[in-house]
Amino acid sequence: MSLPAAIEYALCEVGIAGRVATMSPLTGGCIHRVDEITLDDGTTLVVKSNTADHLGLFREEAASLRVLERTGTVLVPVPLAVVGRGGVAVLLMRAIRSGRGTPEAWQRLGRDLAALHLDNPDPPPAGYGFSVDNHLGTTLQPNAWCDDWVRFNAENRLGHQLELARRRDRLQSSEAAGVQRVIAKLGMLIPAAPKPALIHGDLWSGNAIAAVDGRGAERIALIDPACSIGDGWADIAMMRLFGGFPPDCFTAYASMIDDHDRLESRIAVYQLYHVLNHVNLFGHGYVEKAMGLVNRLVGE
């Protein structure tokens, strides 16, 4: 089955009668193909597609988008269907109108993220983790529930990345030992029981796009999440890691959050997780950055 046929099948699955009139590629997808489609009735949708073996990734992404959308805090594309047909996997979503990325929109993103992290999910989460495992890029992110944030990070975050790096021969023995020393002192670096917050999980600047919401307000929309329940500052750590977010966004966020305990060491721990993931995905070019964080944390 061709991609157009798989898209038509997805439309049928959700009861959309229109047919595809135009299809235009969108930039930004590094794993999947991403297209904007316009139906013959003028409806605009977004389609992610790949080979059928990527169906699980689309299901994970849809699960994250749905739980974020239900909070009513951050703006995300609404998933409509995830289908696999004829060797093709498709994630069908509502399109988000492009915006101008105004200073007010970035400030609102800071407030929206704070509202997301302060939200009290119903039912309450069973500690830290998520309903499904998901992926950062192509790296598995295990989300088995745990009631201790230190142990969760030791096992499911830093420990998981360290094991992958050892298996793939990405780190020298001394470098791996440095990461292990950080893991051993996590109890001194991060809190054991921060407020359980729903986090986006992969919030670099490419996953934050200027948009306009349904009321015509300038917003920043968040895409490509890898959600879990954790420490809300983990999202801020990723945002600060590679830049691209204006200072006013962080100021707006921090003004709404009371928990600033051991903030810089928390940020560094959560950044180390993402840098180790880049080591595993892209190789030795990220080792120096990882070791810089390790040396800083071991010295604290």
Catalytic residue among 35, 202, 224, 231: 202
pLDDT, tens digit, for every residue of 119-147? Answer: 987 778 889 999 999 999 999 999 999 99
pLDDT of residue 266: 98
Question: Do 114 and 250 contact (CB within 8 A), yes or no?
Answer: no
Question: Do 134 and 143 contact (CB within 8 A), yes or no?
Answer: yes
Q: How far apart are CA 238 and CA 203, in angstroms?
A: 6
CATH superfamily, domain at 3-94: Phosphorylase Kinase; domain 1 (3.30.200.20)
pLDDT band at 28 (very low <50, low <70, confident <90, very high): low
Domain 103-298 has CATH 3.90.1200.10: yes
- Cis-peptide, bond into residue 123, ω within 30° of zero: yes
Which is nearest to 223 in space by CA: 119, 57, 77?
A: 77
Which is nearest to 115 in space by CA: 8, 242, 256, 12?
A: 256
231 is catalytic: no
Q: Does the pLDDT at position 30 exceed 80?
A: no
Q: Which helix (H) or strand (E) holds 264?
A: helix 263-282
As annotated, the residues of the chain forming the CATH 3.90.1200.10 domain(s) are 103-298
| Residue 254, SS3 per DSSP | helix
- The DSSP call for residue 142 is -
pLDDT, tens digit, for every residue of 241-264? Answer: 999 999 999 999 999 999 999 999
Q: Does the pLDDT at position 80 exceed 90?
A: yes
As annotated, the residues of the chain forming the CATH 3.30.200.20 domain(s) are 3-94
pLDDT band at 149 (very low <50, low <70, confident <90, very high): very high
Question: Do 299 and 189 contact (CB within 8 A), yes or no?
Answer: no
